[in-house]
Structures are given as C-alpha cells and as structure tokens.
Amino acid sequence: MNLCQERFPLIMGHEPAVETAIDDTSDWVCLKNAAGVYIIVATYGGAGVTDFVLSVHESTAGSGTTAITTVFPIWVNADTATSDVMVRQTDAAGYTVDNALQDNQLVAFYIDASILSEGYDWIQLGSSGGFATNYATVLYLMDGERYQQVTPPTAIA
C-alpha cells in the first residue's frame, strides 16, 4: 500500500526559483478532499537585505490574493546546515524569512481546511519581497485525502 500517494500526496507548488520570482506565483491547491495541507518552503542563499515574507491566500476558484487571517501552526529550521530540528514558532498568519541570516532555511505551515472562510477551499502560498540571488522552492503535502486511491483526484489548479 502506497500511503504517501494515497493519503499524503506531495505536490510541487513552485519549482526552485529566485525568491523575487516566486512572489504570489505558487500553484493553487484544493483542500476540498483533504483535512489540510503542509506548505513547506525551502530557501537557499547568501546575504540578502530584503526579507522574504510568506503568507497564505484562500480562494473559491484558485485565483486572487485574499490572505488567510486566521493564525496557523508554523515550524522553522533557520539553519539546515547545522541542524535538522524544526522549531515551533508562535502561531501566526504568516512568517518572514530573515535573509540577513545567510543560511539555508526551512519553513513549514499547517493549514487545516477548517480555518478557511465559508465557501473557500483553494489555498496558495503567497509571498513578497525576497532577494534576487536567493532561491526558494515550495512543496505542498496534502493531509488525509478523503478519497484514498492509488491515483487520487488532482488537487492542483
């Protein structure tokens, strides 16, 4: 049994790109058939004076820039070269990656489908800022697909 694909499909939300190119261009995914989603952002780079501001958008149809204002759990590894420990942050409606740290970082959000506004079931990683020589990639790990099968229904817009 392939539990990852059936219960926890992994979706690339944005291919590796410079942070400034990711600004609000990650794919939309639908949580209609899921309990929630982990949004995982990996950043790579050196010094940067412009922080990479992460948020989450919600939609009824997989477009727009309506930010989720309900807080959600966030975990961060601020230096993946020296540790593999994800540290729980204070719940918030977004996170700012401090590019001055000059380290590769991981940020994970958990969006429970129940926090979305009435009638909304699409989400997207929103972002702004970033540094032109720092790279990032976005992954979505769907949580608890309700229609478990070898090839689950597509969740991506």
Per-residue pLDDT of 35-92, as tens digits, reads 999 999 999 877 777 899 999 999 998 888 899 999 999 999 999 989 999 999 999 9
pLDDT for the residue 1: 47
Name, in order, each residue with C-beta under 8 angstroms of 141's C-beta and a sequence gap of 6 or more: 8, 9, 10, 11, 37, 38, 40
pLDDT for the residue 151: 55
**Contact, 120 vs 58, CB < 8 A?**
yes
Q: What is the pTM of this model?
A: 0.88
In this prediction, residue 8 has a pLDDT band, given cuts at 50, 70 and 90, of confident
Per-residue pLDDT of 89-148, as tens digits, reads 999 999 999 888 778 999 999 999 999 999 999 999 999 998 888 999 999 999 876 555
